[in-house]
Amino acid sequence: MKDSILIVRNLKVSYKLRGGIIRAVRGVSFKLMESESLCIVGESGCGKSTLGLAISLSLPPNALIEEGEILVNGANILKVNPASVRGRLVSLIPQDVGAALSSLNTVGEIFNDVLSPIRSSKEDSYRIASSILESLGFSDPYRILKSYPHELSGGMLQRVLIALALSLNPKIIVADEPTSMVDASLRKDIVDLIRAIRSKYNVTTIIITHDIAISPSLCDITAIMYAGKIVEIGPSRSIVENPLHPYAIMLLKSIPRIKRTVRLKPIPGLPPDLSSPIKGCPFAPRCPNVIGDICNNIEPREYRLGDRLAYCHIYSGELHGTVPN
Ligand SMILES: Nc1ncnc2c1ncn2[C@@H]1O[C@H](COP(=O)(O)OP(=O)(O)OP(=O)(O)O)[C@@H](O)[C@H]1O
Ligand code: SF4
Ligand SMILES: [Mg+2]
C-alpha cells in the first residue's frame, strides 16, 4: 500500500490584528497519497487560502501557526528551514496572479531568481524555463522569457505561474483559485492543463476553488470547508452526487450547474465571525437540521460514513436528528 505524501494534523492558523485575532483555520486534518489530488471548496472567508498558504509555507508575516503538524513524506515541514521546502517540496500557484509577478522584471529574470537553487547560469535558467514553458503549450518560450508580465494576457500569466511553481520539481502543488482570473473561455484550458501536469510531473495537487461543480473533473478528493474547518471530505464524485453534511447539501443547491432544472437556493444568513469564539457547530445559525442544544453547544466530531468523513451530530447514533435530503 502507498504511503501518504502529505498529512495535515490538527492545523490551527490565526492572524494577528491590532484589535484582536482571526482564527482562520481552526483544526484541519487530512491525508493525501502521492499524485492524488484534493479540491478545497467553501464560501469566501472560510480559510481555504490560509490552509493553502500554510501548507506551502507562504503565510504572511501576521499569521501564526498555533497548533498542528504538516508532514511531507513523514517529516514535519514546520520544523525545518522554509527555504529548503518552499518550491522544492511544496509549491504555490497564488490566488492573485497580478500581484504575484513583479512588473519590474521580465519573466526570464523571475525564473532566474526562482531557479537560483539549481541553475548554474542565466543561460541555464533560460534553458530550464523554456523547456517547462514549452511543455505547458508556449510555442515561443524565449519570447515569453523576454516579456514583462504586463505584456502577457491573463491566460498566459496563469500558465507562467504554473510553470514557475513546477520549476523546482516539487512533490506537491497548491493552486489557489487557478481559474478565477481568466475568462470563461480559458477556464477549460487551465483545468485541462492542471490535469495534464498531474500525470506528466507526477505531482500531488491541492486546488482551491469556489466551484464545487468542477471538483469531480479536477480532483480525486474534495474537502468542504466552513468557518475554518473541514465539514465533509471524501471522493469528489460521491460528495457532488450525494453530499451528507447539511452545509455541503446547501452549497450544492446554491450553485448553477449544467443540466439543472430546479431553482437555485442561496444559503440564508452569513458565516460566523472568526474573530469571536465559536461555540458548538459553526453552521448551527444557518442549518435547517439543527438539533437544538446539542448543535448550539457541542462541536460535532468526525463520523465515518462509507467513503466519507462528515462532521455533523445528525450522524451520531444516539441522536435523533433528521438526515438531510
Ligand atoms: N493577512 C491577513 N490578515 C488578517 N486576516 C486575514 C488575512 N488573510 C485572511 N484573513 C482573514 O482570514 C479569514 C480566512 O481568509 P482566507 O483568505 O483564508 O479565506 P478564503 O476561503 O480563501 O476566502 P476567498 O474565497 O475569499 O479567497 C477571513 O476572515 C479573512 O478575512
Ligand atoms: S451539527 Fe447540527 S447544526 Fe451543525 S450541520 Fe449538523 S445538524 Fe446542522
Ligand atoms: Mg482565498
CATH code of the domain in which 48 resides: 3.40.50.300
Per the structure, the count of domains in the chain is: 1
The pLDDT confidence band at residue 323, using thresholds 50, 70 and 90, is low
Give CA–CA dist 322/135, Å, rounded. 51
Residue 148 has pLDDT above 80, yes or no: yes
Give CA–CA dist 64/11, Å, rounded. 11
**Among 44, 66, 180, 211, which residue has the most ligand 1 atoms within 8 Å of its CB, making it the best to mutate?**
44
> Ligand 3 centre and the CA of 100: distance in Å?
14
Residue 320 lies in a domain: no
Residue 115 lies in a domain: no
- What mean pLDDT do residues 193-206 have? 89
- What mean pLDDT do residues 203-212 have? 91
Q: What is the pLDDT of residue 178?
A: 86
The pLDDT confidence band at residue 325, using thresholds 50, 70 and 90, is low
Q: Are strands 37-41 and 221-226 parallel, antiparallel or unpaired?
A: parallel
**Among 15, 23, 28, which residue has the most ligand 1 atoms within 8 Å of its CB, making it the best to mutate?**
15
In the numeric block, the cell 469556489 is attached to 210
The answer to whether residues 11 and 54 touch, using CB atoms and an 8 Å cutoff, is yes
Query: What strands lie across the sheet with 63-72, from one edge to the other?
Result: 20-33, 4-17, 63-72, 75-76
In the numeric block, the cell 506537491 is attached to 172
The answer to whether residues 71 and 11 touch, using CB atoms and an 8 Å cutoff, is no
Residue ranges with strand state E in the chain: 4-17, 20-33, 37-41, 63-72, 75-76, 90-93, 172-176, 204-209, 221-226, 229-235, 303-305, 308-310
C-alpha cell, 203 = 505531482
Residue 47 has pLDDT above 60, yes or no: yes
95: which DSSP letter?
A: S
- What mean pLDDT do residues 53-68 have? 97
Residue 127 lies in a domain: no
Q: What is the pLDDT of residue 319?
A: 54
> Ligand 2 centre and the CA of 113: distance in Å?
48
Q: CA-CA distances (angstroms) from residue 11 to 8, 111, 230, 313?
A: 7, 32, 11, 22
Q: Are strands 308-310 and 303-305 parallel, antiparallel or unpaired?
A: antiparallel
Of 219, 196, 216, 173, which Cα lies nearest the Cα of 36? 219
Residue 294 lies in a domain: yes
Residue 131 lies in a domain: no
Residue 39 lies in a domain: yes
Angle at 258 between CA 257 and CA 259, to 5 degrees: 115
Q: Over the chain, what is the mean pLDDT?
A: 91
pTM: 0.94
In sequence order, the 6+-apart residues with CB closer than 8 A to the CB of 216 are: 222, 236, 237, 240
Q: Of all helices (H) and strands (E), which one includes residue 124?
A: helix 122-135
> Ligand 3 centre and the CA of 74: distance in Å?
27
Residues flanking ligand 1, CB < 6 Å: 15, 17, 22, 24, 42, 44-50, 60, 62, 210, 274
C-alpha cell, 139 = 510555442
The pLDDT confidence band at residue 70, using thresholds 50, 70 and 90, is very high
Angle at 89 between CA 85 and CA 90, to 5 degrees: 90
Query: Which domain does 194 fall in, by range?
Result: 4-103+148-315
Residue 135 lies in a domain: no
- What mean pLDDT do residues 19-27 have? 96
> Ligand 2 centre and the CA of 18: distance in Å?
33
Residue 165 lies in a domain: yes
Instruction: Decide: helix, strand or coil at residue 141.
Output: helix
